[in-house]
Amino acid sequence: MNKKIALILFPLTFLLGLALPFLPAWTDRDDYYGIAVDNPVPPLELADSQIDNGLRVLFFGYRNCGTVCPAQIVNLVQLQQRLRGHPVEFVFITLDPERDSEEVLQRAASVFGPSFKVVRPESTLLAQNLALAYGDTAARVQSATGYEFDHTANLYVVTTGWRKRLIYTQPVLDLDRMESDLQKLLQTI
């Protein structure tokens, strides 16, 4: 009896373990490609914002990042092009205010496009806290050549009312689906 039960329970648990990564796909069956949430987030000071009622796609990164950041920035740039005319802004928040000066950031923003905004917290610590408030983590890691950040590098879609609505956790994105996510979300606000 017990052996039979064990023979059933153990494989079942094993299967559950295997299924865990796939479970969200089943539990969060909404129409969005990204992870749909609705949480308040701390507002950012965006001096040159041009939208009153729309969406902002946020990304925490740093200029010296050689791995995930460029990929995400490419994603953002492409999205910007796709969503031209829509009330959507793209915000790059630097995690490394020590090396990313305001000038450098502004220059980059102007290169990426008109709806590309930058935020530079006053210190790395403030930047990390801000990232954490959005659900993003950023750990400063010392390396032989200087220092790097181990960071989440998610994309967060927030409303102009500072509510977090969508999360994209991978740098490899299906931009079509993300675009349609944003279109759809725009209609709801």
Partner 1 sequence: MTDLSPHTQDQALLDTLRNDKQMLGILLLHFPVLAFIIPIGYGTMNFALTASLLVSLIAAAGYWFLRGTRACSALFAICLMLSSAIMIQTQLGRLEMHFHIFAALALLTIYRDWLPIVVAAATIAVHHVLLTLLQLGTASLGDMPIMVYNYGCNWGITFIHAAFVVFESAILVFFALRMGAERAQAYRMISIVQAFSSKQDLTGRLPGNTPTAVAFNDMLERFCQLIARLRDLSKQLGDNAEQLAQVSSNTEEIVEQQQQQMERAATATNEMSDSVQNVSCHAQGASEAAVSATEGADQGRQRMDEAVQLTEETNRILGQALGAVTELENKVSSIAQLSDQINDISDQTNLLALNAAIEAARAGDSGRGFAVVADEVRTLSTRTRNFTDQIRQTTGELRSVSDGAISAIKNGQQRSADTTGAVAHTQQVIVQVQEAIRAVSDMNTQIASACEEQAATSAEINRGIHQVVDRNVDIVSESGRLNTMARGLDESIEQLEQMIGGYRTA
**Residue ranges binding partner 1 (CB under 8 A):** 1-2, 5-6, 9-10, 12-14, 16-18, 20-30, 32-39, 67-68, 135-139, 149-154, 164, 167-172
Q: Hunting for tokens 């965006």 — which residue is that?
A: 46
In whole angstroms, how close is the CB of 156 to partner 1 at the nearest point?
Answer: 11
Reading phi first (left if > 0) and then psi (alpha if -120 to 50, else beta), residue 157 is in beta
Question: Judged by CB, which is closer to partner 1: 20, or 111?
Answer: 20
Question: Judged by CB, which is closer to partner 1: 30, or 103?
Answer: 30
Q: Across the chain, where does the E strand assignment appear? A: 35-40, 55-61, 88-94, 116-119, 138-143, 146-151, 155-159, 163-168
Question: Judged by CB, which is closer to partner 1: 24, or 114?
Answer: 24
Binding site for Cu cation: residue ranges?
65, 69, 151
Q: In sequence order, which ranges of 31-123 are alpha helices (DSSP H)?
A: 68-82, 102-112
Strand partners for 36: 166
In whole angstroms, how close is the CB of 64 to partner 1 at the nearest point?
Answer: 14
Question: Judged by CB, which is closer to partner 1: 144, or 172?
Answer: 172
In whole angstroms, how close is the CB of 62 to partner 1 at the nearest point?
Answer: 12
CA-based nearest residue to 94, from 131, 67, 68:
131
Binding site: residue ranges?
65, 69, 151
Between helix 68-82 and helix 175-188 the angle, nearest 10°, is 60
In whole angstroms, how close is the CB of 84 to partner 1 at the nearest point?
Answer: 26
Question: Judged by CB, which is closer to partner 1: 16, or 126?
Answer: 16
As a whole number of angstroms, the longest Cα–Cα distance in the chain is 72
Which of helix, strand or coil describes residue 164?
A: strand
In whole angstroms, how close is the CB of 172 to partner 1 at the nearest point?
Answer: 5
